[in-house]
Structure 1
Amino acid sequence: MADLTPTRLAQRPQLSEEVADHVRTRIMSGEVRPGDFIRLDETAAALGVSVTPVREALLTLRGEGLVDLVPRRGYLVSPMSRKDIEDIFWLQAELSKRIIDRAITRFDAESLNFHATLIDDFESASAAGDADGVVRAQYAIHRSINRTSQSDKLSRFLSNAARYMPYRLYAEDPVWRENALKDNRRMLNALREGDVATAHQVVDAEFSGGARLLIEHLERAGIWDDDDNAATSTGEPAGAATS
């Protein structure tokens, strides 16, 4: 299980976004289950912030379909099926392949060399077991491709979809890190050779594997027990009040 120990956050303009990211990670990693309430006071105290950014964060997550508002009771975690997970990763794969199609013709020797250094950074962080470093390096690798593609809107859509991924869950998994390094190397070779087919294969492998790992993790966490499945099939959040 990823280390999700709350970190006290300093006051700054994007505070509600950081709170949203914290709560989103707890949901997507299975630390909180569908039907669990997200308490404003408890979350604010854990993060060392006021209730206001927590409330703003929960409004954001409600818009993303991750929490529901129950009148007079607060926010609770929405149901999420295996198919939902698959769809999130499918969307990322399709957007990524579109971006790759545009980026692969724009990489030159300088940008390819820079991309290679980012992969070296990933390898170093992985070898050191530095999960935060792995997250930063993998983000930089994807950002390199996105920026080279010159597809700002697609990159923003992809960034929004990627928010659902609990990155530390992956970064702390040695097997995932090993496979990710191989995928990053294969992608670099594909970019150098202008090999779109292989680049697409790498993207599909990355996101299908990511979906599988997350689903297996959530299954072990007991997210989809019989009660949850019954609640999901009726369209009611598990644990929600009924009239």
Structure 2
Amino acid sequence: MAASGSPPHGRRPQLPEEVAVHIREQIITGQVPEGEYLRLDQLAEDLGISVTPVREALIALSAEGFVELEPRQGFAVAPPSRQDLEDIFELRALLAGGLAGRCASRITGERLRELRELQRELARVHELGDGATATELLIRFHRELGKASGARKLAWFFELASRYAPREQSLAAAGWPRACVRDHDAVLRALENGEPTAAEETTREHLRTLGRLLIEHLDARNAWPDRQ
């Protein structure tokens, strides 16, 4: 399968750099999942260009770690390495902390009530063992924090970084929903008390904890024996 969708800016990409931008965005947004093979001829046909700039774009993306060239099979979307996940969660922690810190000085009572309601629902579905719904509520919680912060670009970057975190593996990590329930309570207390520093630090530690739980889960399953 090839990356598809509308070319960037509504026109055909011509240079390898433009093709790389298009394919990279498809990978980042999850439209092309890890392990998927990217066929040069299909990509060229979809984009209405020759194979040459597509090949050069994939070589560039290989150097960036987005794809891997497998002998006699072609380019495949690369899974994240252990270091990738550590970096992704550290980036998410820094971004989410910044958003929470800004929220503490400007969040409204109505928004706090909405977050508290999300938190109560998260605790409820955790008790029911509904991991999929718990994950969706976690995403909504941080999305609402982003809205309340007023920092739209920072919130957008957090959403972008979050797309790299594997959801299904996260659901299977021991202690993940419990950590969300516990840590969100601490974040909400800081927001309710109007404490930007506490909100920022608590949120950062929360995301770092989630990253650690996921990596420990994958370590135990030897998920990346050749990708340390």
Q: Give the Cα–Cα distance (whole angstroms) in 2 for the partners of residues 136 and 164 of structure 1.
A: 15
Question: What letter matches 1:67 in structure 2?
Answer: V
1:105–1:194 CA contact under 8 A, matched in 2: yes
Q: Give the Cα–Cα distance (whole angstroms) in 2 for the partners of residues 209 and 106 of structure 1.
A: 26
2:106–2:148 CA contact under 8 A, matched in 1: yes
Which residue in the other structure is 2:30 paired with?
21
Aligned length: 191
Q: Give the Cα–Cα distance (whole angstroms) in 1 for the partners of residues 75 and 92 of structure 2.
A: 27
Within 5 Å, which residues of 2 pair with 1:35-54?
Answer: 38-39=36-37
- TM-superposed CA distance for 1:214, in Å, is 2.2
1:172–1:121 CA distance, 2 compared to 1 (3 A): farther
**1:182 and 2:182 matched:** yes
1:172–1:22 CA distance, 2 compared to 1 (3 A): farther
SS in 1 for 2:30: helix
Which residue in the other structure is 2:150 paired with?
150
Which residue in the other structure is 2:17 paired with?
none
- TM-superposed CA distance for 1:40, in Å, is 6.3
- TM-superposed CA distance for 1:143, in Å, is 1.0
1:81–1:70 CA distance, 2 compared to 1 (3 A): closer
1:119–1:181 CA contact under 8 A, matched in 2: yes
Q: Give the Cα–Cα distance (whole angstroms) in 1 for the partners of residues 79 and 187 of structure 2.
A: 35
1:127–1:174 CA distance, 2 compared to 1 (3 A): farther
- TM-superposed CA distance for 1:17, in Å, is 5.9
2:96–2:158 CA contact under 8 A, matched in 1: yes
Question: What letter matches 1:38 in structure 2?
Answer: E
- TM-superposed CA distance for 1:173, in Å, is 4.5
CA deviation vs aligned residue, 1:36-77 (integer Å, no higher than 9, x gap):
x53469xxxxxxxxxx7xxxxxx8xx5873323558632235
**1:170 and 2:167 matched:** no
Deviating beyond 4 angstroms after TM superposition, the runs of 4 or more aligned structure 1 residues are 16-20, 69-72
Q: Give the Cα–Cα distance (whole angstroms) in 2 for the partners of residues 168 and 223 of structure 1.
A: 14
SS in 2 for 1:159: helix
- TM-superposed CA distance for 1:108, in Å, is 1.6
- TM-superposed CA distance for 1:205, in Å, is 2.1
1:209–1:151 CA distance, 2 compared to 1 (3 A): same
Q: Give the Cα–Cα distance (whole angstroms) in 1 for the partners of residues 224 and 26 of structure 2.
A: 28
Q: How much is the aligned-residue C-alpha RMSD, in angstroms?
A: 3.5
SS in 1 for 2:105: coil
**1:67 and 2:67 matched:** yes
Q: Give the Cα–Cα distance (whole angstroms) in 1 for the partners of residues 170 and 157 of structure 2.
A: 22
TM-score under structure 2 length normalisation? 0.69
CA deviation vs aligned residue, 1:65-90 (integer Å, no higher than 9, x gap):
33235586322354754332221111
1:20–1:95 CA distance, 2 compared to 1 (3 A): closer
Which residue in the other structure is 1:86 paired with?
86
Which residue in the other structure is 1:111 paired with?
111
1:66–1:77 CA contact under 8 A, matched in 2: yes
- TM-superposed CA distance for 1:154, in Å, is 0.9
1:86–1:78 CA distance, 2 compared to 1 (3 A): same
- Structure with more contact order per residue of length (Cα contacts < 8 Å, sep ≥ 6): 1
Question: What letter matches 1:74 in structure 2?
Answer: G
Which residue in the other structure is 1:206 paired with?
206
TM-score under structure 1 length normalisation? 0.65
1:107–1:191 CA contact under 8 A, matched in 2: yes
